[in-house]
Structure 1
Amino acid sequence: MLTSLHGIKTSSVCFIFSLIIFSVISKILFDHVYAVSKSIVDEKFHIPLGMSYCKFNFYEWDPKVTTLPGLYMISSLILGPLKLCSTYWLRFTSLGASLVNMVLFYVLFKKYEKNEWSNILSALTMALIPPVYFFSLVYYTDIVSLTMILVMIVAYEKNCHFLASIFGFASVLCRQNNIIWVGLVGGRYVLTNLHSIIMEKSTRKYVSEGTERIERFTHTQTPWSSVMQLVCQPKMLLDLPLKFWLNTSSYGAVLLSFMIFLIINGSIVVGDKTAHEATIHIPQLFYFSLFSMIFAWPHFVGEVINFTKFARRHKLMLIISLLLGIIIVLKNTIAHPYMLADNRHYSFYVWNRFYGKYAFFRFAMIPVYIFAWYVIIKTLYNKNDATYILLYLPCVIVVLITQKLIDFRYYFVPYILFRLRVKNNTNSVFNLTLEFVTYLLVNAITFNLFFTKTITWHDFPDPQRLIW
């Protein structure tokens, strides 16, 4: 039982203290980043538009920008009235959002887990995910976009679905492909609530037939069978409560508005459509699984023995997976020209020193991808509620395989949605500590490289830096 300090839980005090320490250190690092670099890669597009919107000039646009103006609109709401329209304060928007994200992580972990101390460490660790943490110090869309998604999920968990849909819409204004995560949250609401409503009605129907019939129905009925029951008996839709329809309509309105945008715009991309042409790039799923395994490695290591046992029991499945992996790598490996040319990103070096240099390396990694996906699926699977994984997997597939460019930022939301579902176990504190220390070390190394290594680009008057 946690002790209290004047009615406040000790764990809450510790979380506030950790948030303050995180804020102070981040501010110091933020100022140092600003001192050495006033424009980082895509900031040359974002900062001028951010300044224009901050001054309430909403008519300027750069055709090279491919996202909707959500980031600039949020900046104008916060900074515009204060007349803080400078590069420093625009970047500070991301830093402020990262602090909010840490609080949101804590709220979500408290919802999913009961161990307060693990929740504090988990929230702090999530805020320090190295690629995510770096972009909290610059003016990119990713951190504010993540904030909108996390608020949407928190509102969903609190049963505030109208509010969730509003922040879902705001997330789409920041990055268009966030519509997929709105679909995940909205779809989960529909499936789980349809299931519970039908279960309640059917239980009342069978109550007169005895306990045995009720138990048999309860064990066989799943969310998907409830949906099929509705398909076979559409009149049941008339009996669904008004609250269900209102909440469903909130999410549906966001999806419908996005469909209208697609029809009018002709593409999910605004501005320079040649920069992000839709394609089929299945190996993105492999790279995402590797990203997840690297950054959540303490939670993966413990599954090696279980995977070995699983592989022995399912040899045919393993062989088929290996063959499919070989075919996909052989036929569908794609290297975007941007990645091959831009030596300011880690992906450039990973590709040119491993994937692009040694063909056998691409194939040697296939068993690693299979293991990583085994852990991801096992972590997300819940026999009592399969709706999450059944929606998560197709959403991740749609978001990733349509991206030609390999960019770590594409993996942020899928990874965080996975990581939020990692359950505490007997080794949780030890694993979390390892994860936390890993993130500190990786951040230390990456920021050291950022501050000490300069790269000359003819398009930029100032020396460029190495970033994620």
Structure 2
Amino acid sequence: MEAAAAFAVYAATSYAVLRRVGAAAGEPYMDEVFHIPQAQRYCAGDFGAWDPKLTTPPGLYLASAAALAAARAPCTVAGLRATNWALGLALFWTLHGLVRRLHGAGRGSAGRAAAATLALALFPVTFFFHHLYYTDTAAVLAVLAAYLLSLHGRHALAGAAGAASLWMRQTNVVWVAFIGASAALRWLGERRGVARAGEPLGRSVAQLGAWAAGQRRGAGDARALARLLAPYAGVAALFGGFVAANGGIVLGDKAHHRAQLHAPQLLYFGAYVAAMAAPAVLAAGAGPGGLARAVARRPARSLALAAAMAGAVRCCTVEHPFLLSDNRHYPFYVWKNVFRRHWAARYAAVPAYVCAATGVQRALRRTPALWQLGLALCAAAALVPSPLLELRYFTVPYYFARLHMPLAGSRAALAAELAWFAAINAATIWLFLSRPFAWDSEPGRQQRFMW
């Protein structure tokens, strides 16, 4: 009952936003000018045409064409956006399943789970793109559905959902690998006591090494674990075949999407998680006092971390041409007004990065250290090669981190998170709808602020 009530609030709010976006911006906007015509070609049965400016696979277009054909609905801008909005509704229930699985479904927990799900579903960057025709909603939904299936031990279906996620965004292969690695860690923890929560990383690595040595002496666990991982390995093999045939990961416009070493992406991501999940991070003891004690207990570690971060800023900061040329996106203003203001600004942010990393780690302390390391490595694999600072790319790893932090231990923290996300959504959607502007180069055409 509580979940149904939360869903009703969510669906009604999201539908109202969809209607307002349609009224204010009825024509294709931003990347929709590529996505919508391609989907309309598929709706018309033309599956041989492809816009070379599109860089992601056609999964969303195929799904939309099938859904609109089944509903006998027109393949218009509004119709295509509605299919994306419907995927946002499905994401609500996927998140609810993850909350119940990861944080218990015991007596008296239904209300907390419903409120926590509502907060996760209102995560501002994801919520915003439910109401335009972008691939983000479908990509996130497929990955989190695969994770939910994996947590329930349905690994073959998880592999299938993971394969589907690659039809939305190629970099999701990283998260399929992470889901498989997480399944292996759970298996080892439950059956062999390896890498449990609360154990130091060094001890977990030693336990894993001892287990691996035991396999070399003839123990039978490795074969069982290989069977568990086979669906995820199959997805990786299929992806490898795609990369070989395509000549790279990117479809279409490869010139503006070349891989580049961009190590500060991890620093931006850590700060982003700490800011967006601030109520949960603070509730987990990562307020100013808790952070000061954590730094004081391990000063050498904190100094080494700060030095490594400063080195990453020094050697590997990237300014992508798209970041500097498009004033419709919020990162443009952060870069222009903070990081470009003075050369030292990039280094002045290092203490904030250290605090953010420490706070997020404290909020995740109930998860195994090897799991945390795996999340960091996969985030690096997905983000560091990308030269463009794009907040949408942070969404999937944000959800993995946030889902494993305490979700409803404090009613005040949960209420604060709901209020925080509601305020951000209200501000960003209001700006998008009510504060259009024009470029001198495109007179008469409205531009809008967005993530």
Distance 1:235 1:331 in 2: 42
Note if contact 1:380-1:421 (Cα within 8 Å) is conserved in structure 2.
yes
Change (3 A) 1:328 1:221: closer
Report matched runs for 1:389-408 at 5 Å: 389-408=372-391
1:290 paired residue number: 271
Instruction: Give the counterpart letter for 2:242 in structure 1.
Output: F
Offset at residue 464 of structure 1 (A): 1.9
**Pairing 1:59–2:23 present:** no
Note if contact 1:344-1:455 (Cα within 8 Å) is conserved in structure 2.
no
Note if contact 2:408-2:414 (Cα within 8 Å) is conserved in structure 1.
no
Change (3 A) 1:75 1:431: same
Offset at residue 224 of structure 1 (A): 4.6
Instruction: Give the counterpart letter for 1:65 in structure 2.
Output: L
Instruction: Give the counterpart letter for 1:180 in structure 2.
Output: V
Offset at residue 141 of structure 1 (A): 0.6
Alignment counterpart, residue 436 of structure 2, candidates 454, 459, 467:
454
**Pairing 1:314–2:308 present:** no
Note if contact 1:281-1:404 (Cα within 8 Å) is conserved in structure 2.
yes
Alignment counterpart, residue 364 of structure 1, candidates 348, 370, 387:
348
Q: Could you list the per-position Cα deviations for residues 171-198 of structure 1 after superposition, in whole angstroms to 9, with x for gaps in the alignment?
A: 1110000001100111222343255555
Note if contact 2:82-2:131 (Cα within 8 Å) is conserved in structure 1.
yes
Change (3 A) 1:459 1:239: farther
TM-score, length basis structure 2: 0.90
1:101 paired residue number: 91
Tell me which structure has the larger Cα radius of gyration.
1
Note if contact 2:145-2:158 (Cα within 8 Å) is conserved in structure 1.
yes
1:250 paired residue number: 231
Instruction: Give the counterpart letter for 2:13 in structure 1.
Output: I
Instruction: Give the counterpart letter for 1:255 in structure 2.
Output: A
- 3-state SS, counterpart of residue 18 of structure 1: helix
Note if contact 2:116-2:407 (Cα within 8 Å) is conserved in structure 1.
no
Distance 1:101 1:429 in 2: 23
1:418 paired residue number: 401
Note if contact 1:55-1:80 (Cα within 8 Å) is conserved in structure 2.
no
- 3-state SS, counterpart of residue 359 of structure 1: coil
Note if contact 2:3-2:113 (Cα within 8 Å) is conserved in structure 1.
no
458-467 or 183-192: which moved more? Answer: 458-467
Alignment counterpart, residue 15 of structure 2, candidates 27, 32, 46:
27
Report matched runs for 1:314-353 at 5 Å: 314-353=298-337
TM-score, length basis structure 1: 0.87
Distance 1:86 1:59 in 2: 20
1:135 paired residue number: 129
1:18 paired residue number: 6
- 3-state SS, counterpart of residue 276 of structure 1: coil
2:111 paired residue number: 117
Note if contact 1:128-1:439 (Cα within 8 Å) is conserved in structure 2.
yes
Question: Which ranges in structure 2 are unaligned for 5 or more consecutive residues?
Answer: none
- 3-state SS, counterpart of residue 71 of structure 2: coil
Note if contact 1:198-1:226 (Cα within 8 Å) is conserved in structure 2.
no
**Pairing 1:41–2:30 present:** yes
Change (3 A) 1:159 1:221: farther
230-239 or 295-304: which moved more? Answer: 230-239
Q: What is the aligned-residue identity percentage?
A: 28
1:355 paired residue number: 339
Change (3 A) 1:109 1:271: same
Instruction: Give the counterpart letter for 1:390 in structure 2.
Output: L
Question: Which ranges in structure 1 are unaligned for 5 or more consecutive residues?
Answer: 1-12, 201-217
- 3-state SS, counterpart of residue 106 of structure 1: helix
1:4 paired residue number: none
Cα RMSD after superposing both structures: 2.5
1:441 paired residue number: 423
